[in-house]
């Protein structure tokens, strides 16, 4: 253990929008079904930036405060956590010290209808690590139950590659599942950053649908093409609405997965939906949409909010990654005391791919 046996370092948000502080905290001691994980990799996610800034963008430019949603500061952020088992509560079964694991962070209270069917990510009163409880920007993290751990084996996967599966990968996968695609569908992927690229891999791995990737950056679109997009559309250079309508025999897209989810992108989405289409909203950019109500029944649209994924989804993702069916990519690595810098770089759009902190 670090410093001395009872203390660990953590990079914390003490007040919203102020620089992160490196603090020394008591290292938790696992009881009952709890497990203490020594963090090896903690992904840096765009939603960490929102938690740091303290708000999302609501209707009419009004901020939606994180504190109104139950987030409490000081907080150790970080929900993409992979590491090794350090110590175990007395009721833990099936795990032993030093095993390499990925942590499922979207923990629920356990008693609501969503939790009862294993969709803790959609719990009425969530207790997610790194958001409502201290997370992975630290040397150690306490996981409340061993059932949230998924073994990633010794040889097959390193922790840097694995960590982003628990949010970036899972969010992409949850969105692809919500789109419920068939091989005859045309799906538009809006935004080809880390999540968009992962979703392209996943659409190919588990649906067989035809992929139209859309972005405003040609370089990203070239990567999207390489990852499996059938067609790419630069929505800055050509009219996205015309483009999709053309590419779909004038019928429109069967499904759209929008990883941006800002006013402008969703306004365009609504114009190239086929009758019966599913519009899956994933990104946290926010803002508002002026939705035509009568079009909802007559066009039979479904607008679906998609938030991360279930523990079972994460197990499926790990299975795909272990066999090389999907290939997550890490682009930037940071030390724990660079956590604030990492968030700033992400906010400034300077991380292409996924950043990971190695405490």
Q: How do strand 7-12 and strand 21-26 relate by DSSP bridges?
A: antiparallel
Q: How far is the CB of 163 from a copy of itself (least distance, A)?
A: 19
SS3 258: strand
**Is 213 within 8 Å of 237 (Cβ atoms)?**
no
Among 156, 158, 316, 341, binds a copy of itself (CB under 8 A): 316
Tell me the C-alpha distance between 55 and 16, whole Å: 9
Burial 206-226 (b: 16+ CB within 10 A, else e): bbebbbbbbbbeeebbebbbe
Helix (H, G, I), strand (E, B) or coil at 355: strand
Tokens of 137: 């920007």
What part of residues 67-106 is at the interface with a copy of itself (CB under 8 A)? 69, 89, 91, 93-94
Stretch 162-221 residues interacting with a copy of itself (CB under 8 A): 182-184, 205-208, 210
Query: Is the Cβ of residue 76 or residue 171 nearer to a copy of itself in the bound state?
Result: 171
* CA-to-CA dists, residue 27 to 3, 79, 165, 265, 268, angstroms: 11, 18, 26, 44, 49
**CB neighbours of residue 70 within 10 Å:** 11
DSSP code of 157? Answer: -
* Residue 156 binds a copy of itself (CB under 8 A): no
Give the position of tokens 């490196």. 22
Counted residue by residue, the chain has a size of 359
Q: Which residue has the tokens 């272990």?
A: 322
- Least Å distance, CB 49 to a copy of itself, is 13
Least Cβ distance, residue 316 to a copy of itself (angstroms): 4
Q: Does 1 bind a copy of itself (CB under 8 A)?
A: no
- Does residue 306 interact with a copy of itself by CB under 8 A? yes
Residue 33 makes contact with a copy of itself by CB under 8 A: yes
Least distance between a copy of itself and beta carbon 26 (Å): 19
Should residue 154 be labelled a site residue for a copy of itself when binding is judged by CB under 8 A? no
Answer whether 123's CB lies under 8 Å from 65's CB.
no
241 near a copy of itself, rule: CB under 8 A: no
> Which two structure tokens, joined as six digits, stand for 19?
């620089």
Size of the site for a copy of itself (CB under 8 A): 83
Which span (22-30, 57-65, 217-225, 237-245) binds a copy of itself, by CB under 8 A?
A: 57-65
In the list 180, 287, 344, 358, the residue contacting a copy of itself (rule: CB under 8 A) is: 287
Shortest spacing between CB 135 and a copy of itself, in angstroms: 17
| Binding residue for a copy of itself, selected from 21, 307, 341, 344, defined by CB under 8 A | 307
Number of CB atoms found within 10 A of residue 173's CB: 28
The only residue of 4, 60, 61, 68 in contact with a copy of itself, by rule CB under 8 A: 60
**What is the C-alpha R_g of the chain?**
20
Q: Which stretch binds a copy of itself (CB under 8 A): 15-23, 37-45, 293-301, 327-335?
A: 293-301
Binding of a copy of itself by 153 (CB under 8 A): no
Which 323-342 residues touch a copy of itself, going by CB under 8 A? 323, 325
Rounded Cα distance, 163 and 168, in Å: 9
Choose which of 7, 225, 299, 347 interacts with a copy of itself (CB under 8 A). 299
The whole-angstrom separation of Cα 101 and Cα 358 is 15
Site membership for a copy of itself, residue 310 (CB under 8 A): yes
271 counts as binding a copy of itself under rule CB under 8 A = no
Q: How far is the CB of 43 from a copy of itself (least distance, A)?
A: 18
Q: Which residue, 7 or 302, has its beta carbon nearer to a copy of itself?
A: 302
Q: What angle do CA 280, 268, 298 make, to 5 degrees?
A: 70
Determine, following the binding rule CB under 8 A, whether residue 124 of this chain makes contact with a copy of itself.
Answer: yes
């Amino acid at each position: 253990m670090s410093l001395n046996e009872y203390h660990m370092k953590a990079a914390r948000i003490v007040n919203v929008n102020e620089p992160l502080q490196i603090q020394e905290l008591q290292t938790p001691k696992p009881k009952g079904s709890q497990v203490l994980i020594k963090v090896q990799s903690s992904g840096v996610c765009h939603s960490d930036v929102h938690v740091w800034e303290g708000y999302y963008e609501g209707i009419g430019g009004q901020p939606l405060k994180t504190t109104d949603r139950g987030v409490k500061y000081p907080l150790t952020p970080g929900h993409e956590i992979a590491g090794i088992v350090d110590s175990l509560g007395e009721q833990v079964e099936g795990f032993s010290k030093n095993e390499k694991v990925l942590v499922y962070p979207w923990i629920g209270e356990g008693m609501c209808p969503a939790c009862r069917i294993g969709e803790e990510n959609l719990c009425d009163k969530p207790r997610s690590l790194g958001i409502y409880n201290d997370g992975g920007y630290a040397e150690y993290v306490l996981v409340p139950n061993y059932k949230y751990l998924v073994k990633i084996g010794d040889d097959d996967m390193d922790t840097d590659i694995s960590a982003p599966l628990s949010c970036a990968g899972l969010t992409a996968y949850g969105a692809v599942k919500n789109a419920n695609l068939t091989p005859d569908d045309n799906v538009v992927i809006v935004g080809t950053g880390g999540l968009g690229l992962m979703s392209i891999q996943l659409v190919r791995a588990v649906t067989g649908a035809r992929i139209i990737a859309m972005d405003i950056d040609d370089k990203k679109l070239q990567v999207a093409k390489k990852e499996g997009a059938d067609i790419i559309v630069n929505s800055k250079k050509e009219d996205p609405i015309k483009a999709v309508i053309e590419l779909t025999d004038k019928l429109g897209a069967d499904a759209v997965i929008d990883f941006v989810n800002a006013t402008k992108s969703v306004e365009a989405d609504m114009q190239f939906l086929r009758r019966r289409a599913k519009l899956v909203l994933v990104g946290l950019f926010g803002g508002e949409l002026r939705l035509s109500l009568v079009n909802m029944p007559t066009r039979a649209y479904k607008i679906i909010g998609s938030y991360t994924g279930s523990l079972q989804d994460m197990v499926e993702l790990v299975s795909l990654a272990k066999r090389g069916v999907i290939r997550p990519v890490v682009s930037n690595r940071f030390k724990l005391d660079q956590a604030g810098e990492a968030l700033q770089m992400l906010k400034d759009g300077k991380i292409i791919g996924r950043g990971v902190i190695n405490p």
